[in-house]
């Protein structure tokens, strides 16, 4: 199969796998995002419910306190005997009791005020006339507190309209059908109804406590008078409506109607909504950090599940933060699948490359061997046929043919020897034993065979084995001979017409190693040849036919043999032209 077709099939299969994996990844990530969004929405809803409960719990005591406050606290001083009927026209002998609101205003309340039947607005924190002087004299208030109260009262008179306030109170008190079935199913609505019940119960408890306190205040002290006469009004004279939170011109107030006899009053507490809002939002910052409190008007409805049970305010939780994914199992699984796919694709690609390279090497080997065998076999057949049929005239010619046959036999023997040696290396078979030898003597011993090969190519072998101190190296002599024979044989094939017609072999010892130099003076090596110099079977059949005979195996075999001996073989620069190789072997220090 052609390499292009193989890589095309591999690429198509890989593309299909990548597309399927990308689709699976997109589906997995989308499901993970949907799950994260659902978990974030559920967490936000749960935090919102907790925030509603926390705010209602924080506001309930304030509403209970203001709802249970006695009606006569809304006068700077009150006469327990006359109450509202003679509040500001008391006799000289009347004992007036200061209101608790005169001296101290509860937190989150800007001002307590009262609407009279004629529409006049007064405040227990801002006494007038002689009561103002008395309050300052008795230390019930301060000039700064009075000034601040007067300023707020002036602002309030411009905001509060008598009739409009009554209409707003009447609208807020419209009965809302109790959510029976939904409350059982909706935990938020059930929590809100629970908060309302808690608020009503606290208001009732506060009113009962105040009533008990007032009943005890009118009892005479042993041996004394009534310094603080605070009697309860006769039953049926005073009617106090429930406290109602409402918005008046963007101001939050807690208002109620009080009927004393036939006269109706309005009593209210003006809340510091900006400050109260900051406190409430700070209390839920750990649950819904981006929350806002939005004023709402009108009576509460059963479907407004984020409206507070205590105030006409809706909680807007804002965007919820998605819970951290951490080490998501989906992402880890997808990452593992992608890593496995990449590793598998690389492994298959490398395997295909190795198989195709092996196939190409086998093809090139077959082509080169076929070419190398064809020439000597043809020579053998032609010469032997001529000699067998007596077509060779004269003894001299016969000797020439026999010599030619001998050289072709040596060539075939060299070819088979190289192939077998390379096969042994590929199969990792153990080489012969290595021993310490004197390199000069070993090279001179091999030089006879090398010189015969050089002489056959018209070249002269020049050996410089060193005449000084002995140079020793640990090597298998047969391997050393095979390497030198291959190097000299290459020089004979490619540099037979070189000038000067020499092949130089030299031995030297330097830097703790032994180096054997083999150099010819031929045309040298091209850049492409240097790149493929030590690749086995690097010759194609076309190159084998167009160049000197050989399989392209000799140099690869020599390098492998050298490395098996603990050394190496490299191409070296050749000043003046030619090709040079250096065999490096270990030497004793």
Residue 521 shares a structural domain with residue 401: yes
Residue 258 shares a structural domain with residue 395: no
Report d(CA 516, CA 569) in Å as an integer. Answer: 9
Residue 195 shares a structural domain with residue 310: yes
How many degrees, rounded to 5, is the angle at CA 483 between CA 562 and CA 582?
A: 65
Residue 261 shares a structural domain with residue 361: no
Report d(CA 160, CA 253) in Å as an integer. Answer: 10
Map residue 25 onto helix, strand or coil. helix
Report d(CA 568, CA 561) in Å as an integer. Answer: 8
- Final residue of a domain: which of 267, 289, 316? 316
pLDDT of residue 1: 63
The answer to the question of residue 9 being in a domain is: no
Out of 175-184, 360-369, 556-565, pick the least confident.
175-184
Report d(CA 476, CA 140) in Å as an integer. Answer: 119
Q: Are 553 and 534 in contact (CB under 8 A)?
A: no
Cis peptide, bond prior to residue 500, ω within 30 of zero: yes
* Nearby residues of 364 by Cβ (< 8 Å), 6 or more positions away: 537, 538, 539, 540, 541, 552
Please state the separation of Cα 486 from the chain's center in Å: 59
183-203 mean pLDDT:
51
- Of the candidates 419, 427, 297, the one whose C-alpha atom is nearest the C-alpha of residue 362 is 419
Residue 537 falls in which region: left (phi positive, over 0), alpha (psi -120 to 50) or beta: left
Query: Is residue 164 scored above 60 in pLDDT?
Result: yes
Q: What's the count of helices (H) and strands (E) in the chain, helices before strands? A: 15, 17
Residue 227, both tokens: 């310094």
The answer to the question of residue 293 being in a domain is: yes
The answer to the question of residue 291 being in a domain is: yes
Residue 399 shares a structural domain with residue 541: yes
Report d(CA 458, CA 439) in Å as an integer. Answer: 27
Strand order in the sheet with 502-510: 460-464, 502-510, 513-520, 580-586, 568-572
Handedness of CA 421, 422, 425, 427 (dihedral sign): negative
pLDDT higher for 202 or 95?
95
206-216 mean pLDDT:
47
Report d(CA 539, CA 556) in Å as an integer. Answer: 12
pLDDT higher for 364 or 573?
573
The answer to the question of residue 8 being in a domain is: no
The answer to the question of residue 26 being in a domain is: no
Report d(CA 270, CA 108) in Å as an integer. Answer: 9
Report d(CA 274, CA 281) in Å as an integer. Answer: 11
Show the 3-state SS of 370-434.
HHHHHHHHHHHHHHHHHHHCCCCCCHHHHHHHHHHHHHHHHHHHHHHHHHHHHHHHHCCCCCCCC
For residue 508, which phi and psi values (nearest 5 degrees)? -145, 155
Query: Is residue 84 scored above 80 in pLDDT?
Result: no
Out of 30-34, 84-88, 487-491, 512-516, pick the least confident.
84-88
Residue 579, both tokens: 């090709």
Query: Is residue 457 scored above 50 in pLDDT?
Result: yes
- Final residue of a domain: which of 268, 286, 316? 316
Q: Are 47 and 288 in contact (CB under 8 A)?
A: yes
80-86 mean pLDDT:
51
Residue 256 shares a structural domain with residue 365: no
Residue 341, both tokens: 């796919």
Q: Are 498 and 477 in contact (CB under 8 A)?
A: no
pLDDT of residue 187: 56
The answer to the question of residue 329 being in a domain is: no
pTM: 0.51
pLDDT higher for 243 or 4?
243
Report d(CA 474, CA 439) in Å as an integer. Answer: 9
pLDDT bucket at 33, cuts 50 / 70 / 90:
confident
* Nearby residues of 188 by Cβ (< 8 Å), 6 or more positions away: 49, 52, 305, 306
For residue 124, which phi and psi values (nearest 5 degrees)? -65, -15
pLDDT bucket at 91, cuts 50 / 70 / 90:
very low
For the beta carbon of residue 80, count every other beta carbon within 10 angstroms: 20
Q: Are 77 and 99 in contact (CB under 8 A)?
A: yes
Residue 278 shares a structural domain with residue 363: no
Residue 371 shares a structural domain with residue 309: no
Q: What's the CATH code of the domain at 550? A: 3.30.565.10
Residue 95 shares a structural domain with residue 158: yes
Report d(CA 116, CA 267) in Å as an integer. Answer: 9
Q: Are 518 and 505 in contact (CB under 8 A)?
A: yes
Identify the helix (H) or strand (E) that includes residue 528. helix 527-531
Report d(CA 52, CA 247) in Å as an integer. Answer: 20
The answer to the question of residue 85 being in a domain is: yes
* Nearby residues of 512 by Cβ (< 8 Å), 6 or more positions away: 587, 589
Q: Are 94 and 79 in contact (CB under 8 A)?
A: yes
Residue 158, both tokens: 């411009």
Residue 372 shares a structural domain with residue 302: no
Q: Are 225 and 208 in contact (CB under 8 A)?
A: no
Query: Is residue 263 scored above 90 in pLDDT?
Result: no
Q: How far are the Cα atoms of 7, 29, 341 from residue 21, in angstroms, in the given order?
A: 20, 12, 9
The answer to the question of residue 490 being in a domain is: yes
On the 0-12 / 13-18 / 19+ scale of CB atoms within 10 A, 29 is middle
Query: Is residue 177 scored above 70 in pLDDT?
Result: no
222-228 mean pLDDT:
35
Q: Which string of DSSP letters, residue by residue, matches 181-211?
A: HHHHH-HHHHHHHHHHHHHHHHHHHHHHHHH
What count of residues does the chain have?
589
Is beta strand 238-240 parallel, antiparallel or unpaired with respect to 460-464? unpaired
Q: For residue 165, what are the domain limits?
A: 41-218+227-316
pLDDT higher for 553 or 451?
451
Residue 301 shares a structural domain with residue 360: no
Residue 398 shares a structural domain with residue 275: no
Q: What b/e string do you get for 454-463 counting C-beta neighbours within 10 Å, with b at 16 or more?
A: beebebebeb
pLDDT of residue 181: 40
User: Considering the chain, what is the average pLDDT of its residues?
Assistant: 78
Q: Count how many domains the chain has.
A: 2
Q: Are 457 and 492 in contact (CB under 8 A)?
A: yes
Q: Per-residue pLDDT tens for 461-512?
A: 998 876 667 888 888 888 888 888 888 888 888 888 888 889 999 988 887 7
pLDDT bucket at 56, cuts 50 / 70 / 90:
very high
pLDDT of residue 274: 93
Q: What percent of the chain has pLDDT over 90?
A: 17
């Amino acid at each position: 199969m052609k390499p292009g077709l193989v890589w095309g099939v591999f690429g198509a299969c890989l593309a299909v796998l990548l597309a399927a994996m990308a689709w699976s990844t997109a589906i997995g990530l989308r499901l993970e995002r949907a799950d994260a969004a659902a978990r974030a929405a559920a967490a936000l809803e749960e935090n919102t419910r907790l925030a509603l409960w926390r705010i209602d719990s924080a506001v309930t005591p304030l509403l209970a306190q203001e709802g249970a406050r006695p009606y006569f606290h809304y006068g700077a001083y009150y006469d327990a005997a006359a109450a509202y009927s003679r509040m500001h026209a008391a006799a000289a002998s009347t004992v007036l009791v200061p209101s608790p609101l005169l001296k101290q205003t509860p937190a989150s309340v800007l001002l307590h005020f009262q609407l009279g039947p004629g529409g006049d607005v007064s405040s227990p924190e801002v006494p007038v006339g002689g009561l103002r002087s008395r309050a300052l004299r008795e230390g019930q208030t301060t000039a700064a507190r009075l000034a601040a109260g007067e300023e707020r009262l002036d602002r309030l008179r411009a905001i509060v309209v008598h009739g409009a306030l009554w209409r707003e109170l009447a609208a807020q008190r419209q009965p809302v059908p109790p959510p029976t079935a939904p409350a059982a199913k909706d935990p938020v609505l059930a929590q809100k109804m629970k908060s309302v019940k808690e608020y009503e119960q606290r208001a009732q408890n506060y009113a009962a406590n105040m009533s008990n306190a007032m009943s005890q205040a009118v009892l005479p002290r042993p041996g004394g008078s009534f310094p603080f006469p605070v009697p309860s009004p006769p039953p049926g004279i005073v009617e106090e409506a429930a406290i109602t939170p409402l918005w008046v011109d963007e101001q939050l107030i807690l208002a109620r109607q009080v009927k004393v006899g036939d006269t109706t009053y309005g009593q209210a507490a003006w809340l510091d909504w900006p400050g109260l809002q900051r406190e409430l939002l700070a209390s839920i910052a750990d649950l819904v950090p981006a929350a806002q409190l939005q004023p709402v008007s009108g009576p509460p409805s059963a479907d407004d599940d984020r409206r507070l049970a205590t105030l006409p305010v809706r909680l807007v939780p804002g965007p919820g933060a998605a819970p951290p994914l951490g080490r998501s199992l989906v992402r880890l699984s997808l990452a593992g699948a992608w890593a496995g796919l990449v590793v598998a694709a690389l492994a298959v690609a490398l395997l295909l490359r190795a198989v195709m390279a092996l196939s190409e090497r086998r093809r090139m080997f077959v082509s080169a061997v076929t070419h190398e065998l064809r020439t000597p076999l043809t020579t053998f057949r032609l010469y032997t046929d001529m000699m067998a049929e007596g077509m060779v005239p004269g003894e001299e010619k016969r000797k020439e043919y026999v010599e030619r046959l001998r050289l072709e036999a040596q060539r075939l023997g060299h070819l088979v020897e190289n192939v077998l040696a390379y096969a042994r290396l590929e199969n990792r078979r153990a080489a012969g034993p290595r021993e310490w030898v004197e390199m000069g003597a070993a090279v001179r011993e091999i030089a006879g065979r090398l010189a015969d090969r050089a002489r056959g190519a018209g070249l002269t072998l020049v050996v410089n084995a060193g005449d000084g101190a002995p140079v020793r190296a640990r090597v298998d002599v047969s391997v050393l001979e095979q390497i030198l024979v291959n190097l000299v044989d290459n020089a004979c094939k490619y540099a037979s017409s070189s000038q000067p017609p020499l092949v130089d072999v030299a031995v030297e010892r330097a830097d703790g190693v032994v180096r054997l130099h083999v150099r010819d003076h031929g045309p040298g090596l091209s850049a492409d040849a240097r790149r493929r110099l030590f690749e086995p079977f690097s010759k194609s059949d076309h190159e084998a036919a167009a160049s000197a005979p050989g399989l392209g195996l000799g140099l690869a075999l020599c390098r492998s043999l050298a490395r098996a001996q603990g050394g190496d073989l490299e191409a070296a620069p050749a000043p003046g032209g030619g090709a040079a190789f250096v065999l490096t072997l270990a030497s004793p220090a």
